[in-house]
Structure 1
Amino acid sequence: MTPEPAPTLSQLLAFYLEAGVDCALSEEPVDRLSDSRPTEALKAASVAGEAIAARMLRSAPAPVAPASDPLPAPDAAIATAREAARTASSLEILREMLEKFDGCALKSTATRLVFADGNPNARIMFVGEAPGRDEDIEGLPFVGRSGKLLDRMIAAIGLDRTKVYIANVIPWRPPGNRTPTPQETQICLPFIQRQIELVDPEILVTLGNPSTQTLLSTREGIMKTRGRWLNYDTGTRVIRAMATFHPAYLLRSPSYKRLSWQDLRAISKALAHITS
């Protein structure tokens, strides 16, 4: 078997440089701070190092410019949402705007837009926080377990989905049903506000703490706000509003259904009074 030829000095130095050895030592000490000329070994090491560096630069991929953020800054997205919502002259146009709106990151992770369900001419409007898994699949609000309970709640006061209008503050499902961020809520807020204006109900019912605090501008918890008549000002008229428990909360804490029933009875009496 023929032995392989010994590597040349340049090849050996190149190997050392690639292995991380970046200087060569000789038998005689070298004062690297003096102006003396470098040894031949150091010259060779320098030449080999420069060659390696040049070869690495040639083979390195070209720098890639950082990708621009596809979403506008939060303040810009909020301003865009306000302007778009303000110009929507009907619920159909508002829905089309939301379908095209790219200012909220939730849209990219959701399956579909969950706009509303029920009768747009209804005298009463229910607003929750955000869609869940079932709503994301079907594209309708309150169709899962909490939706079935909501159906029973409104049926208890002689109503059904043909006589009410149902929506959410957030029209896209947050990933994993997480709580929407304050920024996401503020970006979506102009759309639900315009939706309420266009439906123009006689009574607005907020379901749960998040939608109550967002729409009724209160920092109090649902235990203090529920069952009380409050005002929701659209800018053109004042709508009577009441907060009550979210159906999902009632599924977890059924003992509070009694209080929710009291809220529904008060709402039913108010509707009867409006009719008469």
Structure 2
Amino acid sequence: MHNTELAQRELESLLDFLTAAGLDCFLEEEAVDSFALSEVATARRAMPGPGNSVQPPVQREPAAPAPAVLQRPHDGPLKDFSKSFQAQPEPAASSPMGEAVVPDKAAIDMAREAARAAGSLEELKASLGAFSACNLKLTAKSLVFADGRANARVMLIGGAPGRDEDAAGVPFIGRSGQLLNKMLAAIGLNRGDVYLANVVPWRPPGDRTPTPQETEICLPFIARQIELVTPDFLVLLGAASAKSLLGTQEAIRNLRGRWGVYEAGGRQLPCLTTYDPDFLLRSPLDKRLTWLDFLALRERLRG
């Protein structure tokens, strides 16, 4: 990767994080002390000299008294709530990190090393819990690692957790999870028969799409997770999952229903792409297409 492209991606990631944090404009490159400038201007006006005569003070009307602050009965003094809006991750997902970092090659290398060192799913989960180079961890409530059977034949992978998943620390629950459970039951599977995970294990602020940098940092962990689960089939739920794991930019409507191959630990895994349950809730007419995809999966399982 060229240095120019890397620098641009780092800048895009930083801007995405600042926007999610509430920054909406940039003022100056350097701080300006307006009070000091005002004092200098006042002193210059008061100095006699050519073209700079002393001006008599301007008579101003007395300022109106400030309105009283209305308080509800029994309210105490006003408090400073600025610290109340800082993200407070759950203990299971917290780490000693305190500042946002700019995702770069060093962060990606750190993720690869941490993922490679994990010898089991338990170790991988602990490694993710201690990982400090993904800024999504600062705003997420919990780590959403996985659910289901560790040695399942089918592993389903989504893009990123949403609000319900973030609150519970479990992937695919709430309305989307209920729909997915029904889809699995329709081909003779239940939630305990499969393994569920996401490419990105932390909820992005406002359920936005993870940036390419955030996804790239998390990729080594989901790749190692696939190796440790050793499934027979992968089902990629949605565009974010399919594009990141298959390394393609094709539209989800072109990828959906197609079988591909994903290499994991020297194995060639059959990989099927279909729609994400969240998308199906917004576009129920596409459920028929996903039903065809799950029927194709059932045929592969029986073969």
The 1:162/1:93 distance shift into structure 2, 3 A limit, reads same
Which of 93, 102, 122 aligns to 1:92? It is 122
Amino acid at match of 2:48: L
2:212 maps to which residue?
182
Give me the whole-angstrom Cα distance separating, in 1, the residues matched to 2:139 and 2:284.
Answer: 32
Q: What whole-Å deviation, never above 9, does each CA across 1:179-203 have from its counterpart, x for those lacking one?
A: 1111100000100000011001000
In the other structure, the counterpart of 2:246 is 216
Task: Identify the residue that residue 191 of structure 1 maps to in structure 2.
Answer: 221
TM superposition outliers: structure 1 runs of 4+ over 6 Å: none
1:6 equivalent in structure 2: none
Which of 42, 46, 49 matches 1:19? Answer: 42
C-alpha displacement of 1:150: 0.5
2:261 matches 1:231: yes
CA distance in 1, matches of 2:289, 2:158: 18
TM-aligned CA deviation for residue 23 of structure 1: 6.5
Tell me the SS of whatever aligns to 1:196.
helix
Q: Deviations over 1:176-228 (max 9, x none)?
A: 10111111000001000000110010000000111001111222111111111
Instruction: Give the structure 2 partner of residue 3 of structure 1.
Output: none
C-alpha RMSD of the superposition: 2.0
> Which AA in structure 2 matches 1:132?
G
What is the rounded CA distance, in whole Å, between the counterparts of 1:104 and 1:201 in structure 2? 27
Equivalent residue runs for 1:1-276 within 5 Å: 19-21=42-44, 24-25=47-48, 71=101, 73-273=103-303
TM-score by length of 2: 0.69
Q: Which TM-score applies when normalising by structure 1?
A: 0.76
What secondary structure sits across from 2:44 in the alignment?
Answer: coil
> Which protein has the larger Cα radius of gyration, Structure 1 or Structure 2?
1
Deviations 1:59-79 (A, max 9, x none): xxxxxxxxx965264211111
Q: Mind listing any 5+ residue stretches in structure 2 that lack a counterpart?
A: 1-38, 52-97
Task: Report the equivalent of 1:12.
Answer: none
Q: Give the gaps of 5 or more residues in structure 1.
A: 1-15, 31-67
**% identical equivalent positions:** 54
Distance 2:265 2:232 in 1: 15
Indicate the SS of the match to 1:20: helix
State how many pairs are aligned.
220
- C-alpha spacing 1:21/1:231, structure 2 compared with 1 (3 Å): same
